[in-house]
Chains A and B, each alone.
Chain A
Amino acid sequence: MITVENLTKRYATKTAIEAVSFQVEQGEILGFLGPNGAGKTTTMRIITGYMPASEGTVTVDGFDVFDNPIDVRRRIGYLPENPPLYLEMTVTGYLRFVAKIKGVPKNKLEDETARVMERASITDVKDRIISKLSKGYKQRVGIAQALLNDPPVLILDEPTIGLDPKQIHEVRQLVKDLAGQHTVVLSTHILPEVEQTCHRVIIIDRGKIVAIDTPQNLRLQLQGGERVSIEVQGPGSEILSTLKAMAGVVDVQQAGDSDGRHRYLVEGELRKDIRSDLARTIVQKGWGLYELQSTTMSLEDIFLKLTTAEESETPNA
């Protein structure tokens, strides 16, 4: 549905994004993850046709953003980082205006604005002045605006920012419901959001893509294998050497001793569960196994690992 190829955006003094390429399939939810200033907003602005790229191409539903901007924009509903609201208007008045410039036919204005207000649960404030609404409601008016004219592609820049936990949950649910009929690209710097809502994740840092995958695969890929924490009673040095010699074990680290029991962090090979082997070996040796626990890295760890690894490679950046 969306194809981004080799996208680069240079400003006078800095490069916002560099050689970014990815594809988004029909009906997919793609999460854009990265620290502030990583280039998420710039990428989205280029896809929506708000700004042109310095290099590279973007096509949406077969239309090139640069050559056929109007055709592309007709297919995209966009929620910018700051919801673009005319504060002095009522919710209905505002949505009617947006519907008109998006080309909703006159006889469908009423139905279409009612539909998106229902969808974003803002029907109860439809006659209020936007400036008087709470931040959560303003955000949802912004989402409603993006849904007008039922565009096949939705680009949402930080859709849950400034919302309370209940509203965040509602917005995520809304985004999930939209998938299937709509292709959604959303950006966030909140990790659980990506894990909960997105089919695929792009991690972007300092204008470059660091990883693209499903949240599950990313975790597997970056975990460097299963990690198991164990507590064993027995001769310390022998335990260590035995564990290290085991098949499938990549690394063993000592994690402290207490009352003659030793704690180890055992890292296994990629996608290999070493827990039962570990237990069998320890029991066969006649040592006491007090605890065995597998620890998985959260996406947060992966994210930090990815973006900080990058940093150590380019200390002058």
Chain B
Amino acid sequence: MRNIIAIIEREMRAYFNSPIAYVVLTIFVFLSGFFFRLYLAQVMQMGLMSQMQAQQFGPRPMDMPGMISRGFLSTLSVILLFLMPMLTMGLFSEEKKRGTIELLLTAPLTDLQVVLGKFLAAGAFFVLLLVSTFVPMAALYLYSSPASGPIFTAYLGLLLYGLSIVAIGLFISTLTENQIIAAVLSFGMIMVLWLVDAMANYADSPTSKGVLSYLSILSHLDDFMKGVLSTSNIVFYVSLMLVGLFLTYRSIDSLRWRG
């Protein structure tokens, strides 16, 4: 455990010693703030309109804070899709390029400890990004009283979604010595998992349609956003994460054999 913590600590230092942490944090805070503002304006306008309609047709209940938080939190998944590869691209590729991988793989550490340390480091940075969105959400709580249930499940969904993306990116960074290639490949890979949903619409047989739409990394978030916790969605993200970690682990092993 102490070994894993040492690796996490070093990775976090590396993030904050390089521009990556600041660039990713800044862009993320800016974009998430921008979208929060956008949804806020939209929903308030809708609220105004429904008030006018209410004078004619009688009042209709409308969950304004819920609409804002749902729109805002769903958008985060898209922003993360673009930014997460920046966090994972260097995890192993830099070690390979600089030869520090030789230090890690000859230290009295198991490969699993190395993999978990790296995974948790990028995961921790991702959690930091999520935490930064507590600021606009706090504003929501300050001026209204949103239902906390769906917000909680949405965050849980985002957490699982983000960690599975980290695991994919981690695996891809073991495949190359070049950070840019790792980033582009991770982005492409996540994009494919994102777009299989659209491909499902063109599928011939109902079976392939079912498989393709199940594989979609975003569709499993919908239920979380609506406040529904379903085991199948949790299982999907957890297994995606485990597959990513397992492939990383195997890739390190193969790295040893190939030298």
Contacts and interface: CB of A to CB of B under 8 A. Distances in A.
Nearest to A74: B108
Contacts of A89: 10, 13, 17
A102 B6 CA distance: 10
Interface in B201-259: 256-259
B114 to A, nearest CB: 9
A80 B259 CA distance: 13
A95 B170 CA distance: 25
A103 interface: yes
A101 B3 contact: yes
B28 to A, nearest CB: 22
Contact of A73 (B101, B107, B256): B107
Nearest to B3: A101
A86 B95 CA distance: 9
B255 to A, nearest CB: 9
A299 B9 CA distance: 48
Contacts of B259: 9, 11, 42, 45, 50-51
A145 B257 CA distance: 25
Given A70-B110, A73-B106, A80-B102, A88 B14 contact: yes
B104 interface: yes
Nearest to B110: A70
A93 interface: yes
B95 to A, nearest CB: 9
A101 B100 contact: no
Interface in A96-142: 97-98, 100-103
B99 A101 contact: no
Contacts of B256: 50-52
Contact of B106 (A11, A78, A81, A97): A78
A82 interface: yes
Contacts of B103: 78, 80, 84, 98, 145
B104 A93 contact: no
A255 interface: no
A97 B102 contact: no
A87 interface: yes
Contact of B13 (A9, A11, A85, A93): A93
Contacts of B2: 100, 103
Interface in B90-124: 98-110
Contacts of A74: 108
Contacts of A73: 106-108
B18 interface: yes
B79 to A, nearest CB: 27
A86 B10 CA distance: 10
Contacts of B7: 101
A103 to B, nearest CB: 6
- Among B100, B107, B110, max chain A CB count under 10 A is at B107
A85 B94 CA distance: 11
A133 to B, nearest CB: 15
A301 B108 CA distance: 41
A76 B7 CA distance: 20
Interface in A16-60: 42, 45, 48-52
Contacts of B18: 88
A200 B67 CA distance: 77
Given A11-B259, A87-B98, A89-B13, A70 B6 contact: no
Contacts of B108: 70, 73-74, 101-103
A143 to B, nearest CB: 13
Contacts of B106: 48-50, 73, 76, 78, 80
A84 B102 contact: yes
A97 B14 contact: no
A39 to B, nearest CB: 12
B107 A98 contact: yes
Q: Which 10 A-B pairs give the minimum distances between C-beta atoms?
A: A84-B103, A100-B6, A82-B99, A84-B100, A74-B108, A88-B17, A80-B102, A48-B106, A73-B108, A101-B107
15 contacts: A11-B259, A45-B259, A50-B105, A52-B256, A73-B107, A80-B99, A80-B102, A82-B98, A84-B98, A84-B103, A86-B98, A87-B98, A89-B10, A93-B13, A102-B108
Interface of B: 2-3, 6-7, 9-10, 13-14, 17-18, 98-110, 256-259
Given A84-B101, A84-B103, A100-B6, 18 more contacts: A42-B259, A45-B259, A50-B102, A50-B106, A50-B256, A50-B259, A52-B257, A70-B108, A78-B103, A82-B98, A84-B99, A87-B98, A88-B17, A97-B9, A101-B6, A101-B108, A103-B108, A145-B103
